[in-house]
Structure 1
Amino acid sequence: MNLRSSEPALSISFVTGTAPGKWFDRFGERTGHREPVTGESIDPMAELIDGQADLVLVRLPDPRIDDTYHLVRLYEEEPGIAVPKDSELSLVDTLGRGDISDQTVFYTPDVDGRVDVRAVGEAVDVVATGVGVVLAPRPLLRRLGSRRTENRGYRDGSPTTIALVWRVLDDCDVIQDFVGVARGRTGASSRTAQPKRTASEKAAAKKVRRAATEGVPRRKPVGRGGTGAARRRGRR
């Protein structure tokens, strides 16, 4: 693969609780672009605004995203709940509002669904002492949890959305190629920037395929009639 050494590496910041490593690997495998410079952040949108990142993976909603940005929704996160490891609440797979009516809730997402990663982390630290619960996206609770906490599904919560965001003015093939990888576009897609083969490379590949088939007799297709006749002969 010929890396495009003249182009700058794409800078990508991803919000805590996401795990985009597989996309970074595929981006490097499927395109001729440089490997992206990546980093986890509790507030990647701030890094995009400050010009520290070209492309960010954020948790919606975010009121700072306006029409000067492109936004592509990728997937939804399961709502979750963090409980003390030794709590009876850890004995079930999914909890609801009725199960925690007697518990102190140290954090829950805002009414509009916004999640403060730093506040969630601080609340999980409190739960680790053996008291209360925290309501937040389950992948985030997995990331911030410790050996003294457990996370479970929360059936009365709302899912959160993870999305890619970048500046409209910065839109380019490199960003579009990464977006394609994140959305599951295959390496054969026209959007991925695979280096094109030259005419001589195509001719060489054709020669190899032809050589591989030389001397191999072609099988004549057998129709239904022929198959039936063979069966009748076999029964005689």
Structure 2
Amino acid sequence: MTGSDVSLSFRLVYVPGVMPGKWVRVWNERLPGVPLALAQAPAARAAGLLLAGDADAGLVRLPVDRTVLSAIPLYTEQTVVVVPRDHIVTAVDEVSPEDLADEILLHPLDDVLTWENPPGRPALERPATTADAVELVAAGIGVLVVPLSLARLHHRKDLTHRPLKDAPESSVALVWPEDATSGLVEEFIGIVRGRTVNSTRGRTRPQPSAAQGKSKEKPGRAEKGGAGAGAGTRRRQAPGGPAARGQRKGTGGTPKNPRRGKPRRGS
């Protein structure tokens, strides 16, 4: 990482429904000296902020222009239909497009799903935002199809949702300008991909010095005694050499004394 990277903050833009908190926490733990600035932007504007240089990377919804933006797909969301709690479709665990044939399908201007043949009947006007569409669903005017994260983001007690099969899906990716892959971008890529702090990918691991490169072997027996091989394990010989074997213990190596006493007087 260069000194210029360290002196700057890292600017991350994210779209509604994306929860970057877990990655931000890891960033703050690993790079406490580099502030991470978060900014939320509508899905349609996020890529433009990156290309304009107003953000270093973004958690955005695909597709993006891959000729100028690099992207790492992260996950694909489940698509759900948002309905009032007393709606008939709440009786099933999963809804099909045919189940919505008689419903007014709200299509907000910030919709992130691309429909070729949307189910149901179109509303007279398109709501400006997903939040506006949720209000209309609560008023009983229609139903709304969104990615699961947006249904949770705009949760209301009087509304619920059910999975919608055979519907378009929305994928979220980490995106950054292709010609601006900085060291900090690489750091965030590693965090998002789950690399550990000790990962060597993208970094240069210092080589061990000559002293560190030597194997740390346990000293041999010859080294322990400091007096040649086998010095620490050889059985000690009895003092005085082989001739001293059989001596009385505790005599300090003195040979067994002959029996002492007064000499017998001759008769």
CA deviation profile, 1:133-153 (whole Å, cap 9, x unmatched): 111211122112323321221
Flag the structure with more relative contact order, 1 or 2, with Cα contacts below 8 A and sequence separation at least 6. 1
Aligned counterpart in structure 2 of residue 183 of structure 1, from 190, 193, 214: 193
2:47 is aligned, of 45, 48, 56, to 45
- The change in CA–CA distance for 1:21 and 1:4 in structure 2 (over 3 A counts) is farther
Q: Distance in 1 between matches of 2:157 and 2:12?
A: 30
Distance 1:9 1:193, change over 3 A: farther
95 and 194 in structure 1: CA distance in 2 versus 1, 3 angstrom threshold: farther
Aligned to 1:224: none
CA offset at residue 194 of structure 1? 11
**Cα distance in 1 between the residues matched to 2:105 and 2:150:** 16
SS at match of 1:179: helix
Larger Rg: 2
Deviation per residue, 1:92-141 (Å, 9 max, x gap): 332111222221111273237xxx99633322221111232111211122
User: For structure 1, which segment, 144-153 or 49-58, has the greater mean C-alpha deviation from structure 2 after superposition?
Assistant: 144-153
Q: Is the 8 A contact 1:4 1:32 kept in 2?
A: no
Which of 165, 172, 176 aligns to 1:162? It is 172
- The reply on whether 1:127 has 2:137 as its aligned counterpart is yes
Q: TM-score, normalized by length of structure 1?
A: 0.70
- State the TM-score, normalized to the length of structure 2: 0.63
For structure 2, the residue ranges without an aligned partner over 5 or more in a row are 117-125, 213-267
Which one-letter code corresponds to 1:83 in the other structure?
V
Name the CA shift for 1:32/1:158 in 2 (closer, same or farther; >3 Å).
Answer: same
Which residue number corresponds to residue 114 of structure 2? 110
Distance 1:174 1:193 in 2: 12
What CA distance in whole angstroms lies between the structure 1 residues aligned with 2:21 and 2:181?
Answer: 22
Checking the alignment, whether the CA contact within 8 Å between 1:90 and 1:152 is kept in structure 2 is: yes
1:82 aligns with 82
CA contact (8 A) 2:49 2:55 kept: yes
The residue that corresponds to 1:172 in the other structure is 182
Q: Which residue of 2 aligns with 1:101?
A: 101
- How many residue pairs are counted as aligned between the two chains? 195
CA RMSD in angstroms comes to 3.3
Counting aligned pairs with the same residue, the percent is 27
In 1, distance between residues paired with 2:165 and 2:148?
11
- What is the Cα deviation at residue 15 of structure 1? 0.6
Instruction: Classify the secondary structure of the residue corresponding to 2:55.
Output: coil
Classify 1:58/1:185 alpha carbon distance in 2 versus 1 (closer, same or farther; 3 Å).
same
